[in-house]
A and B are shown apart, each in its own frame.
Chain A
Amino acid sequence: MIDLLRRAAPLLWDALYMTVLLGVSSFVIGVGIGLGAAVGRLSRFRTLRTVIGLYVSLFRGTPVLLQVLLVYYGLPQLGVEIAPVPAVIIALSLHAGAYLTETFRAGITAVDTGQRDAAHSMGMTGSQQFRRVILPQAVRIVVPPVGNQFISLMKDTSLASVVTVVELTRVAEIVGSSTFRYLEMFVVAGLIYWIICTLLAVGQEVLERRLGRVNA
């Protein structure tokens, strides 16, 4: 076992890096998409609302794996060739973005309407109201569900293994198949995912506590 791990360690390190890269970049882009789409969905432009509604519905209503496959294997047929890593990041970001759109929309609408009244009555523009008053309070409301989303996304990165990206799951499989030590390798990979997600959960808790102390 020790020997196996020693041999697999360099591969696992690279794989860990790849998994975190996929997870974090998809999350960051997904948050951007979700925030923008949430604001659009609450705007007074009907067409925009409809388009965003359709996006959310499609990406929440189909499997992530299918979305990954579609971007990597499907798009080249339309002449769009994307390397595996960006393809996965695109698919995961869009997927997470759809869920986060709904999360942020809920967070924004949960802020008391009196807050908008107060900001308006000072003469703030719509965007000042949003940045200075609504968003900081919405962020606090959405930390738990967004943390959930991040954790879930971290594990979805394992789907990248089906489009040749060498991340944790793929490395476990490669080492497993060459040594016939599948059990050990998948358990190790599982443990690494678990540690990453535990760290994220702790981070979420710290953030919640810090934001909570301010408002309570």
Chain B
Amino acid sequence: MSETIHPEPVTARGVIKSFRGVPVLRGVDLTVRRGEVLVVMGPSGSGKTTLIRCLNGLERPESGEIRVCGVDISPGSGSRREIARRTRAVCSRTAMVFQQYNLFPHMTTLANVMEGPVTVRKVARCEAEQRARQLLARVGLRDKCHEYPSRLSGGQRQRVGIARALAMEPAVVLFDEPTSALDPELHEEVLLVMRQLAKDGMTMVVVTHEVGFARDVADRVLFMDNGLVVEEGPAKEFFSSPRDPRTRGFLRLVDG
């Protein structure tokens, strides 16, 4: 791949978004550096999920600047068609892992993982299949290639979701509460895959409530409340000496 490598694959400035007049993001800035794990935390309804959904065009903010891998997808930066085209370009260089997995139920796990490369990136089927098998092996599901998602446990489904994301050879992977729909005993198998990914140097933006994961893996933490970034900093500082009273309150709650 001869793509330019961006030191900051994702930058967002002053992102504003509301749903039916209710403000959800009220001017959010965010920068993701290459190779880092940025964890986004905050109480429910603080706008975390909306924020990362703005980064690949799943939500259209009302205003603000968003650049992903050097592509400008800011609202008003071009015609509707043009922005849609650029958003697709962004999507083919990023990948998302969803809270509800969103695997394609009519396809086997192998076909799920092959879908992006074959349909979007026009990779030859046999090549895509070989790569998909490797990825499924990497997330520990080598023997589940021909199963349909409905026959897998939640943890297995989410691992397929991660393999499917990696198949796009993304510059950034966006995780939207990847463990929140799982039973507690299944969290670790997914987090393990994510830890490995972080160790391999993948750039990751992770919206999560998993404090343990954030503490161990995050390079930086961004804390949101009520549509604003309240606190942002290196993970060590964030957990050892949170500055904002809201952050302190939240950490007390989730940390037990």
Interface residues of A in 119-169 (CB under 8 A from B): 120-125, 128, 132-133, 136-137, 140
Sampled A-B contacts (29; CB under 8 Å): A112-B102, A114-B98, A114-B102, A115-B104, A118-B96, A118-B98, A120-B56, A120-B58, A120-B91, A121-B56, A121-B94, A121-B174, A122-B91, A122-B116, A122-B119, A122-B120, A123-B88, A123-B89, A123-B120, A123-B168, A124-B91, A124-B120, A128-B119, A128-B120, A132-B119, A140-B106, A214-B148, A215-B106, A215-B148
Known: A118-B98, A214-B148, A215-B148. A123 touches B106 (CB 8 A): no
Taken together as a complex, chains A and B put the C-alpha atoms of A115 and B57 apart, in Å, by 15
Is there a chain A Cβ closer than 8 Å to B18's Cβ?
A: no
Is there a chain B Cβ closer than 8 Å to A117's Cβ?
A: yes
- Say yes or no: B95 contacts A114, CB within 8 Å: no
- Say yes or no: A122 contacts B115, CB within 8 Å: yes
**Interface size of B by Cβ–Cβ distance < 8 Å?**
26
- Say yes or no: B91 contacts A133, CB within 8 Å: no
Known: A118-B98, A122-B115. A216 touches B91 (CB 8 A): no
Per a CB cutoff under 8 Å, which of B58, B105, B120 touches A137?
B105
List the A residue with the shortest CB-CB distance to B106. A136
In the assembled complex, which residues on chain A have CB atoms less than 8 Å from the CB atom of B91?
120-124
9 extra interface residue pairs, beta carbon distance < 8 Å, beyond A123-B90, A123-B92, A140-B106: A114-B100, A118-B102, A121-B91, A121-B95, A122-B91, A122-B116, A123-B89, A133-B104, A137-B106
Q: How far is the CB of B158 from chain A (nearest CB, A)?
A: 13
Interface residues of B in 91-138 (CB under 8 A from A): 91-92, 94-96, 98, 100, 102-106, 115-116, 119-120
In the assembled complex, which residues on chain B have CB atoms less than 8 Å from the CB atom of A117?
58, 96, 98, 102
In the assembled complex, which residues on chain A have CB atoms less than 8 Å from the CB atom of B104?
115, 118, 133
- Say yes or no: B120 contacts A215, CB within 8 Å: no
List the B residue with the shortest CB-CB distance to A113. B102
In the assembled complex, which residues on chain B have CB atoms less than 8 Å from the CB atom of A216?
148, 150
Residues of A bordering B, CB below 8 Å = 112, 114-115, 117-118, 120-125, 128, 132-133, 136-137, 140, 214-216
In the assembled complex, which residues on chain B have CB atoms less than 8 Å from the CB atom of A123?
88-92, 116, 120, 168
- Say yes or no: A115 contacts B102, CB within 8 Å: yes
List the B residue with the shortest CB-CB distance to A216. B150
Q: Which 7 A-B pairs have the closest CB atoms?
A: A123-B91, A123-B92, A118-B102, A114-B102, A122-B116, A121-B96, A123-B88
List the B residue with the shortest CB-CB distance to A133. B104
In the assembled complex, which residues on chain A have CB atoms less than 8 Å from the CB atom of B103?
118
In the assembled complex, which residues on chain A have CB atoms less than 8 Å from the CB atom of B105?
137, 215
Per a CB cutoff under 8 Å, which of B95, B150, B174 touches A122?
B95
In the assembled complex, which residues on chain B have CB atoms less than 8 Å from the CB atom of A214?
106, 148
